[in-house]
Amino acid sequence: MKKLAKIYTDQDASLDPIKDKKIAVLGYGNQGRAWALNLRDSGLNVIVGLEREGNSWKQAVQDGFQPVHTEDAVKQADIIIFLIPDMVQRYVYREKVQPNMKEGADLVFAHGFNIHYKLIDPPSTSDVYMVAPKGPGATVRDFYTKGGGVPALVAVQQNPSGKAMEKALAIAKGIGATRAGVIETTFKEETETDLFGEQTTLVGGVMELMRSAFRTLVELGYQPEVAYFETINEMKMIVDIIYEKGFTGMLKAVSDTAKYGGLTVGKFVINDEVRKRMLEAAEKIRSGKFAEEWIEEYNRGSPTIKEGLEEIENSLEEQTRRRLKEIIERGKPKS
């Protein structure tokens, strides 16, 4: 069996290595907002750096920050955290960060994409490390405010100071991740597994599984509302039980009929062909082909994202959700 991963918790991490440092959070979106607020609430010295005075700027001001333009944040920073979209990071690095950063300032990432695929080539004088939350930004903030934390991965790519890991753990503590647990990884492992997860399960897999089941029922003539409750809405309840009690707990919570059908038909539908395709998806990531394709898509103005979002927004699934919204809202627990 492979060696079990080392898990770092609050006792293994101290804020000391970064408590007197100026931390520039670049971007105030999904992760940027969560990190800036959590790091500030942890008593750290945060400055928010943004490209322009748009919606993120307004939100940061509303949250009590005084954002500044990227280059001004970078000039003051000891630690520069990239929380802008992956495809944007290398341009902002080239145009705003590199020409303005203090020599030896740290470069920190929440995902390894730009370093692993060599889109950013950092100076050898900088520590380069990553704290990658294993959850969405809104959850990183929500769990933190409720006394918890979303687990994260940490990795060190460059370590001229010899203190990169301590600082990575300090940032992880500042955003609340060590309240749960943090695992050491590499930029390669984080990048490849994160892309694989979001493509095959978390984002792509789960969505297409639910949509395929929904469409199958509708094509067979069942009411869309019934199909929606069955194949999409109930997913949260089942996944919540998996989250709390694992697959064993979930199987205990469903009927024997569901257990038998699930244990047999699950494997019939998600069969070796699907596993083969998962391997293909992993290979595309590992070879760099997916990164190449995504960069090209981005350079063309992300038409596939635009078309995909439009198709989904107009889909029968989403129309049905809009019709059922009041029922769903009324049913939500009140405390």
Ligand X SMILES: NC(=O)c1ccc[n+]([C@@H]2O[C@H](COP(=O)([O-])OP(=O)(O)OC[C@H]3O[C@@H](n4cnc5c(N)ncnc54)[C@H](O)[C@@H]3O)[C@@H](O)[C@H]2O)c1
- Cβ atoms of 181 and 13 within 8 Å: the answer is no
Q: How far is the CB of 319 from ligand XAI (least distance, A)?
A: 25
Q: How far is the CB of 297 from ligand XAI (least distance, A)?
A: 15
Neighbours of 327 (CB within 10 A): 11
Task: Residue 122: name the closest of 159, 86, 152 by CA.
Answer: 159
Catalytic residue at 111? yes
Task: Residue 210: name the closest of 237, 230, 240 by CA.
Answer: 230
User: Nearer to ligand XAI by C-beta: 197 or 262?
Assistant: 197
d(C-alpha 230, C-alpha 235), whole Å: 8
Residue 319 is labelled as binding a ligand: no
When CB distances are held under 5 to 8 angstroms depending on the partner's kind, the choice from ligand X, Mg ion, ligand XAI, none that residue 32 binds is ligand X
Q: Which residues make up the interface to ligand X (CB under 6 A)?
A: 27-32, 50-51, 56, 83-86, 88, 92, 110-111, 132-133, 136-137
DSSP-based three-state secondary structure for 264 = helix
Q: Which helix (H) or strand (E) holds 277?
A: helix 272-286
Binding mask 185-214 vs Mg ion (x if CB under 5 A, - otherwise)? ---------x---x----------------
- Cβ atoms of 102 and 72 within 8 Å: the answer is no
When CB distances are held under 5 to 8 angstroms depending on the partner's kind, the choice from ligand XAI, Mg ion, ligand X, none that residue 203 binds is ligand XAI
* Active-site residue, selected from the candidate residues 33, 40, 96, 111: 111
Q: How far is the CB of 135 from ligand XAI (least distance, A)?
A: 6
Task: Residue 311: name the closest of 215, 199, 179 by CA.
Answer: 215
In angstroms, what is the C-alpha Rg of the chain?
A: 22
Strand runs (DSSP E) across 92-191, as ranges? 106-109, 128-133, 152-158, 182-184
Residue 261 is labelled as binding a ligand: no
Residue 230 is labelled as binding a ligand: yes
Binding mask 158-197 vs ligand XAI (x if CB under 6 A, - otherwise)? ------------------------------------x---
User: Nearer to Mg ion by C-beta: 122 or 151?
Assistant: 151
Q: How far is the CB of 295 from ligand XAI (least distance, A)?
A: 16
d(C-alpha 148, C-alpha 182), whole Å: 13
Q: How far apart are the first and last CA of the chain?
A: 44
Residues touching Mg ion, count (CB under 5 A): 2
When CB distances are held under 5 to 8 angstroms depending on the partner's kind, the choice from ligand X, ligand XAI, Mg ion, none that residue 85 binds is ligand X
DSSP-based three-state secondary structure for 153 = strand
Residue 29 is labelled as binding a ligand: yes
Please name the residue that has the structure tokens 């996944």. 239
* Residue ranges at the known binding site for Mg(2+): 194, 198, 230, 234
Active-site amino acid positions:
111
Residue ranges of the annotated binding site are 28-31, 56, 137, 194, 198, 230, 234, 255
**Which residues are near ligand XAI by CB under 6 A?**
136, 194, 198, 202-203
